[in-house]
Amino acid sequence: MKKINVSVIGATGYTGGELLKIFRRHPHVHVRHVTSESSPGKRLEEIHPSLRGQYDLVFEPMDVASLAEDTDIAFFALPHGVGIKPVAEFLRKGKKVIDLSADYRIRDGRVYEKWYNVKHQAETFLARAVYGLPEYYREAVKKADLIANPGCYATTSILAAAPLLKNQLVERDSLIVDAKSGVSGAGKKTALTYHFPEAAENFQAYNVAHHRHIPEIEQILSDISGSKSLITFVPHLVPMTRGILAVVYAKLRKKMSVEQLEAVYHRHYSGEPFIRVLSEGTLPQTKNVAHTNYCDVAVRVEARTGHVIVLAALDNLLKGASGQAVQNMNLMCGFRETEGLV
């Protein structure tokens, strides 16, 4: 099978680095260009030393016109806002785009602007974007030319909560998502909060009930459940590098046993290559999904209070970002969905 040419736009960060690690093992991908506004002219291994000896690439400045000439699919790993217009240009040139930023996730430009403080300068393209969560939008992904790759918190929360809503098992708006993420989720930009002496041996919540992924999660849960869904969302910073564990709490509409709920989840995700529903006795751990594209899910019940508890774990840089992006690429190109990912 012939290889496709891909370029990584904004390849100096963690998600860019993970994409390049995966492509190294992907039989159908040739990496054509890597771009960087901060380090044009530097060799790839100067920024990603672990990739030394595996690529012969130099960071280029982003020039959509020339890049588009020999690129089939562009992976955008730029900060929010920066890539809005370039993404649109790529599409205009008939190329496909997988955008790892939030720019094309929110269907309503005003909501995007409210949460990201950036005016969306390509709203007409919002309707073309397919939310790249294969477990719920697989067929649309196959036909898409623009993928809005989901956020890491959003992927975890939706994979955990959606079966409850889709099957109308819980009381509306009773959903609480207590999510915990490793520090790499904050990206490569330094800040005192992520300074080792501050982040190590420390645990804290942040953006309590006010995180940017809330509108994204609610939009998709509403879409899947068919009715407007609100959540109470509290993210936390865990003193580790990779991994997210989200714990979802909701009020059951009627008494259900853990066996019944596990059956629902097993049925719901049967055949999904990257969802592992764990049975009574085992619980998700971020270590078990680290460096993989899997999402482990388990269900529990607190019968005395009528609450269901769903736990989901994944690697925020893989199933929560770059791994899922490649899963989407595989679907768009007709490759084996798991190619390069297991």
Catalytic residue set:
152
Q: Is 223 exposed, middle or buried (0-12, 13-18, 19+ CB in 10 A)?
A: middle
Q: Judged by CB under 8 A, does residue 311 bind a copy of itself?
A: yes
**Contact indicator for 65, 94 with CB cutoff of 8 Å:** no
Q: Which residue has the tokens 């482990």?
A: 296
Q: Judged by CB under 8 A, does residue 232 bind a copy of itself?
A: yes
Q: What is the DSSP string of 240-279?
A: SSS-EEEEEEEEBSS---HHHHHHHHHHHTTT-TTEEEPP
Q: Judged by CB under 8 A, does residue 305 bind a copy of itself?
A: yes
Q: Is 56 exposed, middle or buried (0-12, 13-18, 19+ CB in 10 A)?
A: exposed
Q: Judged by CB under 8 A, does residue 287 bind a copy of itself?
A: yes
Nearer to a copy of itself, 71 or 181 (CB): 181
- Select the span of 111-119, 137-145, 238-246, 323-331 touching a copy of itself (CB under 8 A): 238-246
Query: Tell me, what amino acid is at 328?
Result: N
How near is the Cβ of 234 to a copy of itself at its closest, in Å?
6
Q: Judged by CB under 8 A, does residue 188 bind a copy of itself?
A: yes
Q: Judged by CB under 8 A, does residue 222 bind a copy of itself?
A: no
Q: Judged by CB under 8 A, does residue 39 bind a copy of itself?
A: no
Q: Judged by CB under 8 A, does residue 183 bind a copy of itself?
A: yes
SS3 235: strand
Q: Which of 5, 37, 39, 54 binds a copy of itself (CB under 8 A)?
A: 54
SS3 310: strand
Nearer to a copy of itself, 110 or 228 (CB): 228
Q: Which of 69, 191, 260, 336 binds a copy of itself (CB under 8 A)?
A: 191
- Select the span of 32-40, 136-144, 153-161, 201-209 touching a copy of itself (CB under 8 A): 201-209
How near is the Cβ of 339 to a copy of itself at its closest, in Å?
12
Q: Judged by CB under 8 A, does residue 70 bind a copy of itself?
A: no
Q: Judged by CB under 8 A, does residue 209 bind a copy of itself?
A: yes
Q: Which of 3, 108, 110, 283 binds a copy of itself (CB under 8 A)?
A: 283
> Can you tell me the distance from the alpha carbon of 15 to that of 35, in angstroms, rounded to the nearest whole number?
13
Which of 147, 155, 108 minimizes the C-alpha distance to 131?
147
Q: Judged by CB under 8 A, does residue 203 bind a copy of itself?
A: yes
> Can you tell me the distance from the alpha carbon of 47 to that of 58, in angstroms, rounded to the nearest whole number?
10
Nearer to a copy of itself, 68 or 289 (CB): 289
Q: Which of 178, 253, 268, 333 binds a copy of itself (CB under 8 A)?
A: 178
**Contact indicator for 251, 171 with CB cutoff of 8 Å:** yes
Q: Which helix (H) or strand (E) holds 151?
A: none
